[in-house]
Chain A
Amino acid sequence: MFERGFKTKAEKLSSEFRTKTGIHVCGVLPAQHLANHLNVGILTLDDLDLDDKIKSRLLGQNGNDSGWSAVILNNCDNKKVIVHNHLHSEARQQSNLMHELAHVICGHTVDDSHVKHLSFLRKYDAQQEEEAGFLGAALQLSRPALLWAVKEKMSDSEIALYFNASVEMVRFRINSTGVRKQIGFKNR
């Protein structure tokens, strides 16, 4: 359940970040571009000096996905850094990075109030995940961008390819923004 006004704010932020970084509100906003603006570093496993066994585990075994997408942390210089799974498709990588950047924008912190001796276990905050999910998707596909694409009669696949998103993400955004209904109503 979102806080009142969150969705409207998310749509506004999507356009604002495009404008602030010199991109048209209907344009493609690459995650790296937004990360640079937010002063967040982005790394992959290839950038880290890791033991072969650890790297192999994180790259996945026998063709199976290792199960992780991205990690965000404050490094020793207190700079936010994202390490992401570069074996995912380009569209999924963009989605993963935008999700993590959305956590940064929302000011989400890791809740350290859980039981100390269980600190090695993850704390899953459903509210934060929902917010980052919605904002991340809005950052990747702005409402003005979707309006433009639908007016141009682009198919879901064409929109996905153009904006480096998955078809599922495109459909989610079209449904949640109601842009097709809006254009349909206007065309009556």
Chain B
Amino acid sequence: MENTLNTELLATMIKQKRGKQGLRAISAEMAGVSAATLSRIEQGKIPDVDTFIKICQWLNVTTDTFIIKKSDPIDEGEKSHKEEIFFHLRADKELDKDTVEALIQMVKVAYSKKI
């Protein structure tokens, strides 16, 4: 199973740090992250990599803070060479966690399908 993002913690920490400041004000502090994007992330949507890194830098924490590591019991005790499937996705910039997980499962099935 893959790692996943603790979106609840991410949203909470952003809200805590910004306090009474508006989203536009903190957006200005994070070059390239719009207020609309921040709003969606505060609602639990998953950001893209670059946005996530900028937020972590603004929060002054490492990216690890929000990673929920999931281990595959089959891999314990041996190195497995999982194939990494690279794919390009056309979608809303921020998606909710369940949709991301569903898309990952869809990609795995499509990868294995013979056509």
Contacts and interface: CB of A to CB of B under 8 A. Distances in A.
Interface in B70-115: 84-93, 95-96, 98-100, 102-107, 109-115
B93 A72 contact: no
A124 B46 CA distance: 13
Interface string B37-59: 00000000011111111000000
B7 to A, nearest CB: 11
Given A110-B86, A112-B86, A121 B46 contact: yes
Contacts of B100: 120
Given A68-B95, A69-B90, A110-B88, A120 B111 contact: no
B21 interface: no
Interface size class of B (residues with CB under 8 A): 35 or more
Interface stretch (A96-104, A154-162, A177-185): A96-104
A115 B114 CA distance: 31
A75 B106 CA distance: 12
Interface residues of A, number: 44
Contact of B52 (A51, A71, A96, A118): A118
Contacts, number: 129
Contacts of A70: 89-90
B111 to A, nearest CB: 5
B63 interface: yes
Contact of A75 (B5, B98, B113): B113
B90 A96 contact: yes
A48 B113 contact: yes
B8 to A, nearest CB: 16
Given A108-B88, A122-B89, A50 B49 contact: no
Contacts of B92: 67-68
Nearest to B96: A67
B5 A120 contact: yes
B28 interface: no
Nearest to B110: A83
A69 B91 contact: yes
Nearest to A75: B111
26 contacts: A45-B106, A48-B110, A57-B99, A58-B99, A58-B102, A67-B96, A68-B89, A68-B91, A68-B92, A71-B88, A73-B85, A76-B114, A81-B113, A81-B115, A99-B90, A112-B86, A115-B53, A117-B3, A117-B64, A118-B63, A118-B67, A120-B2, A121-B5, A121-B46, A124-B49, A124-B93
Interface of B: 2-5, 46-53, 63-64, 67, 84-93, 95-96, 98-100, 102-107, 109-115
Given A70-B90, A124-B48, 15 more contacts: A43-B110, A48-B106, A48-B113, A57-B98, A57-B102, A67-B95, A68-B103, A71-B89, A75-B113, A115-B63, A118-B49, A120-B2, A121-B48, A121-B49, A122-B46
